[in-house]
Structures are given as C-alpha cells and as structure tokens.
Homo-oligomer: A and B are copies of this chain.
Amino acid sequence: MKRWTTGEVAKQRNISVRTLRYYDQIQLLTPSFKDDHGKRFYSEDDLFKLEKIIILKSLSLPLEDIRMILDKLTYKQILTSHYNYLQEELSKLQTSISHTASLINMIDLEESLSWERVSEMVQNSRKNAKKWMDYFPEEEKAILQESLPNLSNNDKTIQKYIGLLRRMEWCIQHNITPESDEGAQIASELIEVSNESFQEDNNLMEKFWEVRKLPAEETGLYPISEEVLEFAERCIAYVTT
C-alpha cells in the first residue's frame, strides 16, 4: 500500500500543501496515517476522498456543505439549492458585465467618463424597474408595492423567479418535458413564489403573467420567451390536474 506525503499529493492534484493542512485542521480530510513526528501520509482512499472534495469544490460548494455531502445527506436538496444559488450569481454577474461593458463603451464615446451619464444610466434602470407597474390599475398597485418589496438586485423573490426561469430554459434545451418530475418541481416552486408575491390573488397573478409577455424594454422586467411561458403554463397545468 503506497502512501503519499503532503507535497506529493499537492503536486499530483495541483493544490497547495497549505490547503491539505487546512483540510486536516478543519477535519474535512484527515490523512489516515501520521508519523510519530506528525508527518502526514495519505492513502489511496484518502486521495479518492480528496478527489470528491475537489469536484464538489469546483461546483463552488462551501467546504461546510462538502463535509455534509461526504457524510451522506440528501444530495439532491443540496445540489438543487446550490444550483439556484449559482443561477443567482450568474444573473448578478451578467448585469455586472453589461454595466461594465456600457461604461467601457461610454469611455470610448466620450473620452472621459461623465458621471452624470452614469447616474442617468443607473437611474434609468431604476425607473424601468418600476415602470411595468403602470400596466396595473391603481388599486392593485398598492398590493404590488407591498408584495414585491424591493425590485432592486438584492430582492430574493425576483432572484427566485430568475432562477426558475433559467431552470425552465435549461429543461427546454435538454428536451425535458413539463410533464416530468422536474416540471412538477418547478411548477410547485412557481406556485409557491407566486403565492408569496400575490398573496393568493389569482386574478392579479394572471395579469402579472400577461404583462411579462411584453418585450423587456417596455416593462423593464427580466424577459420571458414564448417557449418558457408555455413551459411554465404546461408545468402548472400538469400539476393542477
């Protein structure tokens, strides 16, 4: 049975020695043997475990979660929640990227950055974020104001929506029908989020979906394609029958 030292393992898996010592320290990966001088020796099983850890880490899972997964726990729960988290990160990143790109563009156009322009830009996106509310009559606006508290980046509800939209897009791309387990899952989450937002007011909810079909520039909302809308409707239809 061969045993590897920290240095060897580190080189082999392309990680730092410090990392291995850290994993030992937080009891994530304890080498199966230690010298009488404290020298660490890793077995093949240890390496396999490390491999798992590296894979999970490549999914941006925090080490704490990795420990739980390794000690068995509902894989799916952790992974799906993680997937949603990643989608949120992705959407944040993408807005960040488009903002940056706009700024770069502005530099080229105007030579020097004019902060008025920048402010204007951000202001516009703020304005747009609320403009779609004009599609609703006055009495309903109050409810909307309350039920969709912050339409800023940080809003959890909108992030959940975006996560769901992405999942639906993904399903469509991978030819997963709305009449599947995943579809049912999505439907239930959709309903949950909708109820959170609209407090059971189905009428209001219907209207909201109608509005969402309008082009993005008009509403300032995250755009929804026809396919996704159809997917969503079929999901919900499948579950409610």
Interface residues of chain A, those whose CB is within 8 Å of chain B, are 14, 48, 51-52, 55, 58-60, 75-76, 79-80, 82-83, 86-87, 89-90, 93-97, 99-101, 103-105, 107-108, 112-113, 115, 118-119, 122, 150, 152-154, 170, 174, 181-182
Contacts and interface: CB of A to CB of B under 8 A. Distances in A.
Given A59-B103, A107-B76, A93 B96 contact: no
Nearest to A112: B75
B90 A104 contact: no
B182 A108 contact: yes
How many copies of the shown chain assemble into the complex? 2
B100 A59 contact: yes
B51 A119 contact: yes
B105 A79 contact: no
Contact of A118 (B55, B76, B108, B152): B55
A86 B97 CA distance: 6
B59 A82 contact: no
Given A55-B122, A108-B182, 19 more contacts: A51-B119, A52-B115, A55-B99, A55-B119, A58-B96, A58-B153, A60-B96, A75-B107, A75-B113, A76-B104, A79-B107, A80-B104, A83-B101, A83-B104, A86-B93, A90-B93, A93-B93, A105-B174, A108-B181
